[in-house]
Amino acid sequence: MTHRRYGILGLGNRIEQDEALGALVIERFRDDPTLMGRLPAPDTVELIDGGTVGLGLMPYLTGLDGLLVVDVINNNREPGELIDLDGLDVIRKDVVMSVHDLGAGELLGALYVMEQWPRRVRVIGLEPKFIGLGLELTPPVAAALPGLIQELLRYLAEWQREDGAAG
Amino acid sequence: MAEIVIDPVTRIEGHLRIEAKVDGGKVTKAYSSGTMFRGIELILKGKDPREAWIWTQRICGVCTSVHAHTSVYAVEDALGIEIPPNAALIRDLIAGAQYIQDHVIHFYHLHALDWVDVTGALKADPEATSKLAQSISPWPKSSTEYFKGVQARVKKLVDSGQLSLMASGYWGHPAYALPPEADLMAVAHYLEALEWQREVIKIHAVLGGKNPHLQTYLVGGMASAVDPNSPNVINWERIGFIAERIKQMRDFVEQVYVPDVKAVASFYPEWWKIGAGHKNYLTYGAMQSGNRTDESKFAFNRGIIVGGDLSNVVKLDQKKITEAIAHSYYTYEGANQALHPWDGQTNPKYTGPTPPYDALNTDSQYSWLKSPRYDGKPMEVGPLARMLVAYASGNARVQEIVNGALTELKLDAGALFSTLGRVAARALETVYMLDKMDEWLKALSTNIESGDLRIHDGSKWDPSTWPDEAEGWGFHEAPRGALGHWIKIKNKKIENYQAVVPSTWNAGPRDADGVPGPYEASLEGTPVADPDRPLELLRTIHSFDPCLACAVHVVDATGKERVRVEVR
């Protein structure tokens, strides 16, 4: 099967400590070719540093076979705990997502109402410890970062396997 | 007496909290609070001025390019660098595309649902909707079949419980006044605008390398090469691509956006009388095509209007700008008097209540925003300020556009001092901006044709050419209003950097004399039909297009309410 496309969309602001998570994950992949090398077909995976932008990212996400949205997630857990949500749950109207209206939840909502929902969407991230001015992740979030990356690799490998078998 | 708290205000970027006291069905006092600290200034201290724009792009998640734009101008002003015309034109084209996309998104996706009831659209007659749409615009997507299809789509979304980004309106609120057919038409255009914005913002990818964080800014010009004979740079093919996108923008703005604003406004005549506030307006003027001093060349006029007096445009002197902190969570070394941004300080000192809290202490400090003042007075900035200053300054094209709309709506210019005045000004300046986009693209093409391919002046790139000390002011009119960056450079490093953003002007708290900021003043007197669902307050706040501390966002999976409304 050719022309499969998957995306990792990292959201976050680099100057707000744990809020930088998504952006830092993208940076990790870009800086470490061996990470990408561990994917069966790295050229099918797009890395998107979304910053904090919402609707402007739509063009990058249309038509994907699988989308992993990486962000810090408030879920009243221990700092650094891995949280993994189905994209459709994220846009349900009774689970309001981002604190501003054109954030990750609204971006996904827009893809949904435009009938351009990627075939699979997971929203994966870590519970933050602290969001405030600063350039470093807090220790529990930094310690959990490698596990988060493993989880992203696992999803991509699983999707590629499924699509390969189907194709 | 009821007390209304909205925290955070939805359909805006960032964190804004409004506390309003309501008596006899009207707001008597309002307090506006930015609830998050934004400390980019502290991060910039000691950095190389040439990389300031990379950091300032991260101030805001949406208008990234406006901070890059303003930052490079600030450094160029400090170092006395004149950039080549092509670089200025490309900066203006990027800024113009940002305006047009931003204003359309603001109207449909951040503001329209204050006026349009999505659930009303389900009750509409598609045939009558088609007639309505055809009566106000030649836009081709207006058949009965088309609106039937949109209605089915909305019904599917509502039934599935996946209303998603449309879920935050106060559906069924008595203050909604549109007939169902107008609701359906507006919802159809809401969906079309999502598709449209995706296409037109590709101008940024062509001129800026990538979106959202553009990569082609450079102190001294731009990093995007211009060469008609080379692939992968700005060449004829790309100029043609941009021209097509501008055409696409114009079609949608003239045939959908502007007619919709007029149609929606016609059902809310009382909102031309609500929400004015101080009637003080300030613009820096902008799109200066590279020149920093000749105000007559600015696409947007520079000046100040005080107390709604359109017969007198006051000349702006940036040295009269100060920021006060009497009600802000900061401290200044020495006395706490208001400071000019060159001498500005960012020393956070939180004195507010420990969250979660019920009420701010509005007698003392209550906001992370400072209180910008011009000559001691609060000033509203944004599209309405720009249109009024241009109108009052004798800008012929702006007068033509504004007078045309006023005649059609049977209003006089005084009606513009209002909540709907802001909405209308935003739409009308989008039309003005389209003309400018055409002009700038034509000028760029003419330069290329004549062989002028210069894009960067590197003569002062090397820090050894800089003076030991320098100070500069970069100004811009961002979509949301006057944006200024003030920089001091010492020993080749940033000594001080202060950004005064549009929403600080508009949403800042009271000053030492107790004079309210523009949001606070504009809310006074606003009628509130149902204090549990303060839709009317959102109309006025959203009319400013708020954008606060907007560089932070967290996904919230606990399902908690975003708007907490309390009546005490």
Provide the residue ranges of all domains of chain B, joining segments of one domain with +.
Answer: 40-166+178-515
Pick from A53, A96, A113: which is nearest to B61 by CB?
A: A53
pLDDT at B148: 97
B167 touches chain A (CB under 8 A): yes
Contact at CB, A100 and B551, closer than 8 angstroms:
no
Q: Minimal Cα–Cα distance from B279 to chain A, Å? A: 29
Has residue A1 been placed in a domain? Answer: no
Q: What is the pLDDT of residue B534?
A: 84
CA B116, CA B122: separation in Å to the nearest integer?
12
Closest-CA distance of chain B to residue A167, Å: 30
CATH of domain B40-166+178-515: 1.10.645.10
| Contact of B502 with B549, CB cutoff 8 Å | no
Mean pLDDT per 10-residue run, chain A (167 residues)? 82 78 89 80 82 73 91 85 87 47 71 88 89 82 95 93 75
User: Cβ–Cβ of A56/B194 closer than 8 Å?
Assistant: no
Q: Out of B163, B550, B555, whose CB is closest to A72?
A: B555
Residue B509 backbone class (left: φ over 0; alpha: ψ -120 to 50; beta: rest): beta
pLDDT given for residue B394 in this prediction: 97
Q: Is B111 in the active site?
A: no
- Does A108 reside within a domain? yes
Which of B418, B503, B522, B543 is flagged as catalytic? B503
Two structure tokens written together for B531 = 């204090």
Chain A, nearest residue to B560 by Cα: A96
Cβ–Cβ under 8 Å, residues B510 and B33: no
Look up B3 and say whether it is catalytic: no
Chain A touched by B166 (CB under 8 Å): yes
Domain range enclosing A120: 6-166
Residues B384, B477: contact at Cβ < 8 Å? no
Per the CB < 8 Å rule, is B62 touching A102? Answer: yes
CB pairs under 8 A between A and B: 173
Is B459 catalytic? The answer is no
CATH number for the domain spanning A17: value is 3.40.50.1450
Q: Backbone dihedral region of A118: left (phi > 0), alpha (psi from -120 to 50 degrees) or beta?
A: beta
Among B42, B165, B562, beta carbon nearest to A99: B562
DSSP per-residue codes, B471-514: EEEEEEEETTEEEEEEEEEETTEEEEEEEE-HHHHHH----TT-
Q: What's the number of domains chain A is made of?
A: 1
ipTM beyond 0.90?
no
The helix (H) or strand (E) run that includes residue B547 is strand B547-548
Report the pLDDT value the prediction gives residue A103, as an integer from 0 to 100: 64
Q: Which amino acid is at B54?
A: I
Do the Cβ atoms of B164 and A15 come within 8 Å? no
> According to the model, what pLDDT value does residue B6 have?
63
**Model pLDDT, residue B468:** 97
**Does residue B212 have a cis peptide bond before it, meaning omega lies within 30 degrees of 0?**
yes
Residue ranges of chain B with per-residue pLDDT less than 70: 1-14, 59-63, 162-169, 210-213, 290-291, 355-356, 548-568
CA nearest to B480, candidates B426, B424, B419 = B426
